Amino acid sequence: MLRILGLAMIVTASSAVGFGFAGGIRRQWVQLSALLGALGCMKSEILCRLTPIPELFSVLADYSEGAVGELFARCAAACRQNRCSPPSAVIKDALAGTPGLCLGPDARRALLELGMALGKFDMEGQCRAIGLAEARLQRELELLGQSRRARCRSYETIGVCAGLAIAVLLV
Amino acid sequence: MEIDLVFKIAAVGIIVSILNQVLVRSGREEQATMTTLAGLVVVLMIVVQRIADLFALVKALFQF
Amino acid sequence: MEQIFEIAALAALGAVLCVSVRRTSPEYALALSAVCCVCALGCAARLLSPVLSFLRQLQQMSGMSAAVLSPLLKTVAIGFLTQLSGSFCQEAGEQALAKAVELCGTLLAVYASLPLASAVLELLREMLGG
């Protein structure tokens, strides 16, 4: 009985690891979609209201949910704490410090480059920078969307099969 | 009689072939090859152990 | 005598599993068949022990020297192992390797039977008074 319980635990643990990786892919998809929505909102705020950067981050924190909302909330808090910090440094710290953020290196680089453009150029320049970041994130979202299902299924299958193989060998 | 050993090797073979196909289809051929080789090494270790036991038995019985 | 049922069941089970495993991984099918053969032969070989003890008793009763029986047993063992490994090689598709193993087995069997040949030669010499 104990042996069967141990084997079941091994298979469950390994499957959980596989499903965890698959969940990470799904979270990445959701966060990229939320980020694209937030960038759309950012463009509208800058075009229509010329919102200052600290308030812009607060608006985006309220607009977005989950880890993306947390990211912008950290940016807003950092701007309130130190008004002299450039947006690029604020975004860099927030990207490093936000828990549960599953963005790839390309998405992070796109956000950092957007941070370097914010507050430096005129309205048109900033909107162009936001458009460029949106295009990069959209491309990454499309690439992820094409391989998402296959990757999730393969991570789940690998997790279950690895658990079964270890269980069979240990029996 | 070690029937569970036979099932163990068959199960490892089937699981490794499933893993191999999943990895090949997701484009990771090197990892698929490594997984197959790892499974083969484990199975060969079991087989070699059993063959060594058989040879020891033959040696003892036939006075080699 | 129930060993024969166990061996038959093991062989049948092994054959069925080999057929299903061979489609996806031929190397695992070979390993599986090797393990089945080794387990079955190991089970049967243990039963040879009383037979060999009986042969030794006969040898002691007849007053033959150990040099007569020992090469005989060694040749049997060499033949047994040669057949087994030759069959594995053929199953793996390596005909040349199987033939090489059989050839080595033949040569080693001849080498193992040299003491017996010497004993026979000695006996002939004694009989011919030379």
Q: What digits encode the pLDDT tens for the residues A79-127?
A: 888 888 888 888 999 999 888 888 889 999 999 999 888 878 888 888 8
At B60 the pLDDT is 86
For residue B22, which amino acid is it?
Answer: V
**Residue C66 pLDDT greater than 80, yes or no:** no
CB-based touch A/B (3+ pairs, under 8 A): yes
**Residue C65 pLDDT greater than 80, yes or no:** no
Angle at CA A48, nearest 5°, toward A46 and A52? 40
At A70 the pLDDT is 92
In the structure, what pLDDT confidence band is assigned to residue A137 with cuts at 50, 70 and 90?
A: very high
Measured CA to CA, the distance from residue B14 to residue B8 in angstroms comes to: 10
Range B6-15 average pLDDT: 90
What 8-state DSSP symbol labels residue A85?
A: S
CB-based touch A/C (3+ pairs, under 8 A): no
- Best mean pLDDT range from A50-54, B37-41, C57-61: B37-41
Cβ separation C21–B3 shorter than 8 A: no
**Residue A8 pLDDT greater than 60, yes or no:** yes
Which ipTM did the prediction report? 0.85
DSSP A93-131: HHHHH-TT----HHHHHHHHHHHHHTTTS-HHHHHHHHH
Among A33, A56, A146, A160, residue whose Cα is nearest residue B26 = A146
Tell me what percent of chain B is helix, strand and coil, each rounded to the nearest 5: 90, 0, 10
B residues 2..61 contacting C (CB < 8 A): 2-3, 5-7, 9-10, 12-14, 16-17, 20-21, 36, 39-40, 43-44, 46-47, 50-51, 53-55, 57-58, 61
At C130 the pLDDT is 58
Residue to test with chain C: of B55, B61, B64, most C Cβ within 10 A: B61
Q: Kindly state the percentage of chain A with pLDDT values over 90.
A: 42
Which pLDDT tens digit goes with each residue over C39-63? 888 888 878 888 888 888 888 888 7
At B1 the pLDDT is 54
Measured CA to CA, the distance from residue A61 to residue A34 in angstroms comes to: 11
What are the residues whose beta carbons fall under 8 Å from the beta carbon of C123, sequence distance 6 or more?
none
Range A137-151 average pLDDT: 90
Looking at chain B, which residue has its C-alpha nearest residue A151?
B26
Q: Is A146 helix (H, G, I), strand (E, B) or coil?
A: helix
Contact C101, C89 (CB under 8 A): yes
**Residue A144 pLDDT greater than 60, yes or no:** yes
In the structure, what pLDDT confidence band is assigned to residue A40 with cuts at 50, 70 and 90?
A: very high
Which residues of chain B does C39 touch, with a Cβ-Cβ cutoff of 8 Å?
A: 1-2, 5-6, 50
Which pLDDT tens digit goes with each residue over A71-92? 999 999 998 888 888 888 889 9
Measured CA to CA, the distance from residue B62 to residue B39 in angstroms comes to: 35
At C49 the pLDDT is 83
At C97 the pLDDT is 95
Measured CA to CA, the distance from residue C31 to residue B49 in angstroms comes to: 12
Q: Kindly state the percentage of chain C with pLDDT values over 70.
A: 99
For residue A70, which amino acid is it?
Answer: E
Among B43, B53, B50, B52, residue whose Cα is nearest residue B8 = B43
Which pLDDT tens digit goes with each residue over C3-39? 888 888 889 989 999 998 888 888 899 999 999 998 8
At C44 the pLDDT is 83
Per-residue burial over B14-46, b if 16 or more Cβ lie within 10 Å, else e, is bbbbbbbebbeebeeeeebeebbeebbebbeeb
Cβ separation C21–B10 shorter than 8 A: yes
**Residue B64 pLDDT greater than 80, yes or no:** no
Measured CA to CA, the distance from residue C13 to residue C7 in angstroms comes to: 10
Looking at chain C, which residue has its C-alpha nearest residue B12?
C28
Mean pLDDT of chain A: 89
